[in-house]
Amino acid sequence: MDHSRQPVVDAPLHPAWLNAPAGQGDAHAPQPGPSDLSPTIRPRQVLLVEDNHINQVVALEFLALMGVQARLARNGLEALAACTATPPDLVLMDIQMPGMDGLECARRLRALQRDGQLPSFPILALTAHALDADVAASLDAGMDEHLTKPLDFVALRTRLQRWLKLPEPS
């Protein structure tokens, strides 16, 4: 498998294993034990699309605590490249970002899925905007849900469990 096409995206202040493709994590990173996952179940892979460093740190830490393998894209263009290289199980998409915003990125991802170029996966809007018009804009762009910031661990876990099978907390 040629990994040279995968975007190399790192999140400062986070362990390298959070952004490593499956099976390529840090040897010192926590690894699931036999009771955590059956051999046929791989960790869920979430792409976080977020341009704000503080929000990146918080969201990536929450995802790690949930036992989710996370990758980071800092804008819509990076998200398109990341999804094309390795489709995630779910995308958490910020709405307001430089370059391509989250709404346009969601539209393009959905178009690629309709054309059979990408498998289907849920896209959840992640934004501070909570007006009815903001929710409607997210859904119209192809998002499956609209989550508001600041992130709350329990609320995020509850929302993700609607779409993914998450490991049970230990």
Over residues 30-69, the pLDDT tens digits come to 344 444 444 456 788 999 999 999 999 999 999 999 999 9
The answer as to whether 24 is a domain residue is no
Work out the number of other CB atoms within 10 angstroms of the CB of residue 59: 24
Residue 130: the pLDDT is 81
Question: Which DSSP category does 43 fall into?
Answer: P
Instruction: Please tell me the pTM assigned to this model.
Output: 0.75
The answer as to whether 20 is a domain residue is no
Pick from 98, 103, 158: nearest CA to 126: 103
Which tokens go with 13? Answer: 């202040």
Residue 65 · residue 93 · CB < 8 Å: no
The answer as to whether 78 is a domain residue is yes
The answer as to whether 1 is a domain residue is no
Query: In terms of residue numbers, what domain contains 122?
Result: 42-162
Number of domains in the chain: 1
| CATH code for the domain in which residue 120 is found | 3.40.50.2300
Pick from 80, 66, 82: nearest CA to 10: 82
CA dist., res. 41 & res. 11, Å (int): 26
The answer as to whether 37 is a domain residue is no
